[in-house]
Chain A
Amino acid sequence: MIIDCDVHPMIRDVTDAFAYMPAKWRTHFQSQPLKISGRADDRYAHPSHPFRLDAVLPGDRTGGTDPRFVAQDLLDTHLIDIALMLPTQAAGVAGWTDDDAAAVFVSALNDHFLEHWCAVDSRYKLAITVSPHDPEAAAKEIARLAANPNVVAVQLPTLGMPLGDRHYHPIYAAAVEQGLPIAVHQTGAEACYYWTPTVAGGLPISYAERHALLTQVGEANLASLVMEGVFDRYSELKVLLVEYGFSWAAALIWRMDHEWASAKSSLPRMRRAPSEYVAEHVRLATQPIDEPDIKQDLWELMRSVAAERFVVFSSDYPHYDTDDPTRVIASLPADLKDRICYQNAFEVLPRLPVPAGT
């Protein structure tokens, strides 16, 4: 049994979403075409190709546009039972300035992927995207689509304000009310625009420098969620952090637990050790998996913080830095495979249908 917690369905261009927009917004997007990818290409140009070349169909500019091809190329090839879809173009609204346009766009993409992907293959399950700019509108979007059984999570793009901030509380409340976890994935807009997250120390110079440091965004947001008491306020909330890697979590958990032990007075909204919140409420996805020369070194480190409780498998198909499911899963320690391949994912995605016998 394999659950892939990071698959990206893509639209070819904004017109794919037009069927799910009011007429005035179709006109808006036609007359003011917005870039529907998060990363600012004029600042951090990709040095080769952002998509796996073998995942880009003839005539397309991006991979991941055809649900039938992805089902064959990814799900059938690697025997993946469930794919959690995280639409990365929707997450790119983090860099937009028009809150209404962002809400309309993510809403249209939610409808598009439910109709054109989930309806085509039952292995596709969707994290609906909400715009982080307007929490009230986001809560309404969650309520609008939560009854659909193919909706299994809420994708929340990050702003330059950490996820522990009370700005996001209406979104967490709406997700908890519907029994949906929050999925947080790189938006691509990090270090690209005002009001999107940057990395510590200031602006990176190159694509590679920025890409190497994107883990910091996951690290900062995990610390914020835990240390601002979000999991005490929303005791049923689950959070899945995707494409931030996970090996940094060992050091962060040690450091947070140390602060809890030595500086509790500065953490008035917490009640327990940070490591306990992580194990109970948070899951981290494997891709991009770190590749030490001795692969087992990674798991020696992670066992020290009981990572078998919180790491889930992800491929990031169809991006260029994908992890090949068969090879990565084969490299996992035997006693952790079931936890990482599906058990931890079921815990954070409670709406997933559990096949008999698992």
Chain B
Amino acid sequence: MTPIALERRPVGRVEDFTLDQFRIFELDGRSIGVVRTRAGFFAIKNTCPHEGAPLCRGDVRGTMLPSSPGNYRWGREGQVVRCPWHGYDFYLESGKCVYGEVRDRAIAYRIEVEQGDVFIYIKPRRS
């Protein structure tokens, strides 16, 4: 089967994105959040794989890193979104649930910045 080619779509200029604030785009019937964080640009589907919450209404944050018992190490600032409902954390880049409580991944999208323009790559849906 021939893989479906991804389409590159512009979503704005870098300066259009306030730090850690998602902007929501409706692209081919999908609600996708694009965000600029301290860790870069990310794009993720605005649906939590657990119970369908609007994931991009959640906070952008970091998470606790693996450490020995009784020690707390914070890291990955700007690489995680916390679901606005049950509080499960997902990596923005991969959509994977940080602690594995939710087996399904959130859907993350490839994103690129070129000369100040931000582009997202999605599978086109034709009506």
Q: Which residues in A have some Cβ–Cβ distance to B below 8 Å?
A: 47-49, 52-54, 320-324, 326-328
Contact = CB atoms under 8 A, between A and B. Distances in A.
B126 interface: no
B10 interface: no
B30 to A, nearest CB: 18
Contacts of B85: 52-54, 320-322, 324
A52 B52 contact: no
B62 interface: no
Given A52-B53, A54-B85, A322-B51, 11 more contacts: A49-B84, A53-B57, A53-B59, A53-B85, A54-B57, A54-B84, A320-B86, A323-B51, A324-B52, A324-B53, A328-B51
Contacts of B53: 52, 54, 324
Contacts of B58: 53
B51 A327 contact: yes
A321 B84 contact: no
A48 B87 contact: yes
B57 A47 contact: no
Interface in B71-102: 82, 84-87
Nearest to B82: A48
A321 B86 contact: yes
A320 B88 CA distance: 11
Contacts of B84: 49, 52-54, 320
A205 B26 CA distance: 44
Nearest to A288: B86
A320 B84 CA distance: 7
A147 B59 CA distance: 46
A49 B87 CA distance: 8
Interface residue SS majority, chain A:
loop
Nearest to B54: A54
18 contacts: A47-B87, A48-B82, A48-B87, A49-B84, A53-B59, A53-B84, A54-B84, A54-B85, A320-B84, A320-B85, A320-B87, A322-B85, A323-B51, A324-B51, A324-B53, A324-B85, A326-B52, A327-B52
Interface in B51-68: 51-54, 57-59
A53 B84 CA distance: 5
| Residue among B54, B58, B85 facing the most chain A CB atoms (10 A cut-off) | B85
Contacts of A47: 87
A318 to B, nearest CB: 10
A323 B84 CA distance: 13
A63 to B, nearest CB: 10
Contacts of A324: 51-53, 85
Contacts of A52: 53, 84-85
A47 B84 CA distance: 13
A228 to B, nearest CB: 36
Contacts of A328: 51
Nearest to A327: B51
Nearest to B61: A48
A112 B52 CA distance: 33
Interface string B35-58: 000000000000000011110011
A130 B54 CA distance: 36
Nearest to A325: B51
A53 B85 CA distance: 7
A327 B84 CA distance: 17
Instruction: Please provide the 3 A-B residue pairs with the shortest distance between their CB atoms, ordered closest to farther.
Output: A53-B84, A324-B51, A48-B87
Contacts of B82: 48
Nearest to A323: B51
A358 B117 CA distance: 56
Nearest to B89: A48
Nearest to B88: A48
A352 to B, nearest CB: 26
B88 to A, nearest CB: 10
A53 B54 CA distance: 9
Contacts of B57: 53-54
Contacts of A53: 57-59, 84-85
A91 to B, nearest CB: 22
A328 B87 CA distance: 18
A117 B80 CA distance: 38
A324 B52 CA distance: 8
Contacts of A323: 51
B121 to A, nearest CB: 27
A49 B82 CA distance: 10
A323 B85 CA distance: 9
A37 to B, nearest CB: 18
Contacts of A327: 51-52
